[in-house]
Structure 1
Amino acid sequence: MDITAETESRYGSALDICIELLGKNRLGSTLLPEDVQQLRVDLIEDRATSTANHYLATLSGFLGWCESNGYCRTGLAAACVRFQMSAREPDPLTQAEFAKLIADGCLHPADSASITLAVYTGLRPGELCGLAKEDVDLDANIIHVRRAVTSSGQFKPPKTGRARIVFLFPPAREAVITLLALQAEAAALTVTVYLNRHETRQDTVTPLLSPTTQARKTKVNAWFVPTAWNTKWGNIQRRAKTRPRRPYQTRHTYACWCLTARGNLAFISKQMGHKDFTMLVQVYAKWMDDESPNELEHIWFGMQNTAQIAPILPHINLESALTT
């Protein structure tokens, strides 16, 4: 009861494939750990490691339930050992590549604005597709990330389950202004955001990025879904003749550019929607220049400023300070 219908569908597909390989006419009570080990061999033969691990994780949960209810022998869930994955390093855009994408790859102002917004906010593709005009607060120079779009077109909360605020760099602000102008005549729509299986909320919002802006067909979706965004991103890269990357690399680009500029880790992590900055350190360590020859000077400068302020602090009259 704690998962959405879409997650259940993904689990069902994974179990169908595992059961087909194990033998769908077999009794669960006859399964042995060696059957699961053979399944691992069959799964990895012609599938990506991440896909095989998803299937194994799903099967492990199912077999654990079967074990706890006495439908099969114990040890089967433990045999669903996931495959070790080599860490994929981020592959961020260079400034030159980004400029080429904008100049040569984008045919419409909406495309250049969307790519700019993706790179300068670090939003996940689903979050980018789920942005609405009502999420923008130009007076405060922020956007609210309140929903994401799944590959099937459903709306859900951001990955961590919590909304967040993203401050806008000047290029991102200009991109938002362009998108708002392009969607000036668009009507608000009521969408259902699936919080979990038994809870939803209704958002009446206007898409900020919409296929209708450039549509030639009369019937098109009002919102981008990640698969459609992937296609658009691929076409932009092809026209720009840049090295192909996944759309998620725009998020990596944001992180790497911020870290290269020696941005505050806690701030960057919060902007990206991480629970803490542990992931930031683990994933982007290469872009954190922790042995910069300028770092000692930077720290010493901060120490001297602190030393100048510190002797003054004990002599401040607390009551007058609070009054002020």
Structure 2
Amino acid sequence: MGYVKKEGSSWYFVAELGVDPLTGKRKRKKQRGFKTKKDAEKALALIEAEVFKGTYFEPSSIYFKDHLCEWFKVKKNSINIQTAQVYENYMNNRIIPVLGHVQLSQLTPMLLQNYVNDLKEEGLASSTIKKIYNIIKGSLDYAVNMELLLSNPAKKIQLPKDKKKEMTVWDIDEIKAFLKVASRDRLYPAFHLAITTGMRRGEILGLRWKDVDLDKGVLYVRQTLSKDGKKFLSGAKTDSSVRSIKLSNETIAVLKKHKARVAKEKLKCGPDYVDYDLVICTSKGTPVNPENLKRTFERLIKEAKVPKIRFHDLRHTHATMLLAQGVHAKVISERLGHSNIKTTLDIYSHVLPNMQEEAANQIDALLSKSN
């Protein structure tokens, strides 16, 4: 049985928690700091009731930084290398410096809410805050599964919401103006692929000739180049990103011409050529650094005198262009490598009102024909 005793001017209790199955020793819990005997007795009674019902949970004293490291050892086996690097960066630079010294059991909803509020006041984008939150929530879900916590305090906090930024894409005239200027550049096929296939930058820079079937007009996304341009990653961003994409006749012609050019460069370079079988590569066969592609893209934008957009916006331009032409969202979702059609519709919902209007016009046209 537990007991209550006075210590100086305050009271404490000692509760019997049963026998540790691993050591065979009796487990006790001591808690100090009660102002009155009645307060200590009340707290003791609550714990004894939980022990009797088998619902008592002993909070973990492990520090959050140590728990994060343990969780990450498990988590990184289920995510790709680039995502793991992003997680590690947020953990080391954002989470651990502020919350790492806090014991796991002391992470309250209020503490985490204040942490999120501070990130917002610091000026971080809501999308960045959400990524940091997902790491914290995921690690605490793991703590609950490992019976280190009774519940996840992160589930009770509210994340800030920003107004959705308007997506910047090119229209057909702007696409043609850019491609006309870019066609004179050695990296033209990269920009052409981005616009006509919707591939991500890393997917384009990791594309190999063996993954392109020019006879059937299909390419397969099976390898990507890392963001720093230093290594190839097998697969793609997600499982659904490993996919096949049907090529237009114009894209096939561009790739055939480019392949002949690469073959000449390889012959000219001789033994100095490093053959990674890349579609988009330097004149010596090595991978094109993503930052170099970005700089070339920005230079060509200025030359073409079209609105400035990011390279990734070429992917959005591709999707928007197809939606505006009435291509089914399911087909676009498959071309982009989205996990489901809902993702596609959520991202490109700004195009749908125009499609609704077009649908209504088509109905009018059909009905007028039948009269």
TM-score range, shorter chain: 0.7 to 0.9
- Report the Cα distance in structure 2 between the residues aligned to 1:186 and 1:134, rounded to whole angstroms: 18
- Report the Cα distance in structure 1 between the residues aligned to 2:366 and 2:203, rounded to whole angstroms: 37
Query: Are the counterparts in 2 of residues 31 and 72 from structure 1 also a CA contact under 8 Å?
Result: no
Query: Are the counterparts in 1 of residues 195 and 318 from structure 2 also a CA contact under 8 Å?
Result: yes
1:1-324 aligned within 5 A: 1-16=77-92, 17-22=94-99, 24-44=100-120, 45-69=122-146, 71=148, 74-79=151-156, 81-104=158-181, 107-108=184-185, 110-152=186-228, 153-162=231-240, 163-184=242-263, 206-210=277-281, 212-213=282-283, 222-288=286-352, 289-292=355-358, 294-296=361-363
TM-score, L = length of structure 1: 0.73
Tell me the secondary structure at the aligned position of residue 184 of structure 1. Answer: helix
- Report the Cα distance in structure 1 between the residues aligned to 2:153 and 2:292, rounded to whole angstroms: 39
Query: Are the counterparts in 1 of residues 178 and 304 from structure 2 also a CA contact under 8 Å?
Result: yes
TM-fit CA distance, 1:139: 1.2
- Structure 2 stretches of 5 or more lacking a match? 1-76, 267-274
Percentage identity across aligned positions? 21
Q: Deviations over 1:238-290 (max 9, x none)?
A: 33332221111111111122222222333333222234433333333443422
Change (3 A) 1:66 1:263: closer
- Structure 1 stretches of 5 or more lacking a match? 188-203, 216-220, 304-324
- Report the Cα distance in structure 1 between the residues aligned to 2:108 and 2:340, rounded to whole angstroms: 41
- Report the Cα distance in structure 2 between the residues aligned to 1:298 and 1:226, rounded to whole angstroms: 48
Once the two structures are overlaid, the 10-residue window that deviates more, 251-260 or 6-15, is: 6-15
Q: Deviations over 1:149-186 (max 9, x none)?
A: 23143413123414322111133122212321232157
Once the two structures are overlaid, the 10-residue window that deviates more, 1-10 or 256-265, is: 1-10
Change (3 A) 1:66 1:287: closer
Letter in 2 for 1:112: Y
Change (3 A) 1:39 1:70: same
Query: Are the counterparts in 2 of residues 59 and 80 from structure 1 also a CA contact under 8 Å?
Result: no
- Report the Cα distance in structure 2 between the residues aligned to 1:271 and 1:64, rounded to whole angstroms: 34
- Report the Cα distance in structure 2 between the residues aligned to 1:274 and 1:31, rounded to whole angstroms: 35
- Report the Cα distance in structure 2 between the residues aligned to 1:91 and 1:294, rounded to whole angstroms: 26
Which structure would you say has the larger RCO, counting Cα contacts within 8 Å and 6 or more residues apart?
1
- Report the Cα distance in structure 2 between the residues aligned to 1:184 and 1:80, rounded to whole angstroms: 57
TM-fit CA distance, 1:138: 1.5
Letter in 1 for 2:260: A
TM-score, L = length of structure 2: 0.65
Change (3 A) 1:9 1:256: closer
Query: Are the counterparts in 2 of residues 131 and 145 from structure 1 also a CA contact under 8 Å?
Result: yes
- Report the Cα distance in structure 2 between the residues aligned to 1:42 and 1:116, rounded to whole angstroms: 43
- Report the Cα distance in structure 2 between the residues aligned to 1:174 and 1:20, rounded to whole angstroms: 54
Tell me the secondary structure at the aligned position of residue 291 of structure 1. Answer: helix
Tell me the secondary structure at the aligned position of residue 78 of structure 1. Answer: helix
Letter in 2 for 1:25: H
Tell me the equivalent position of 2:36: none
Query: Are the counterparts in 1 of residues 130 and 159 from structure 2 also a CA contact under 8 Å?
Result: yes
Letter in 2 for 1:155: L
RMSD of Structure 2 on Structure 1 (CA): 3.1
Aligned residues: 278
